Amino acid sequence: MSEHVKIHKTNTKWVVRAGGAVLGESTKALELAEGDYKPVIYFPRADIAMAFLDPTTKSTHCPHKGDANYFSIQTKSAVLENAVWSYENPLEGVEKIKGFLAFDPSLVTIEEL
């Protein structure tokens, strides 16, 4: 694994909420720490209500993780544009995040229970 990126399984339950709705809960979340950035919680796709997420055309590239695809979240009152990202084909060394979703903490609430 890249020395720049560290991934480990969390040993607790996590929940993600948007617009007052619970999008998912997981005991299988991963924590990804990258350099000096704040750690990011990645949720297994199977633990997220995917009906609330719509794919967007946005994509970005990280030299340590690969290409990210984005989703918007449809809440009762708003669309949270590009609030979720996923690495469909992550680079070697960070394959653990394949099939997982990360959420922008400025747009949603992510809590450890």
Question: In this predicted structure, what is the pLDDT of residue 35?
Answer: 84
Question: In this predicted structure, what is the pLDDT of residue 28?
Answer: 97
CATH number of the structural domain 5-112: 2.170.150.40
pLDDT mean over 5-21: 94
User: Could you write out the DSSP letters of every residue in 41-52?
Assistant: EEEEGGGB-GGG
What is the pLDDT of the chain when averaged over all its residues?
94
Is pLDDT at 3 greater than 80 in this prediction? no
Question: In this predicted structure, what is the pLDDT of residue 20?
Answer: 87
Question: In this predicted structure, what is the pLDDT of residue 1?
Answer: 47
Question: In this predicted structure, what is the pLDDT of residue 2?
Answer: 58
C-alpha–C-alpha distance, residues 28 and 81, integer Å: 26
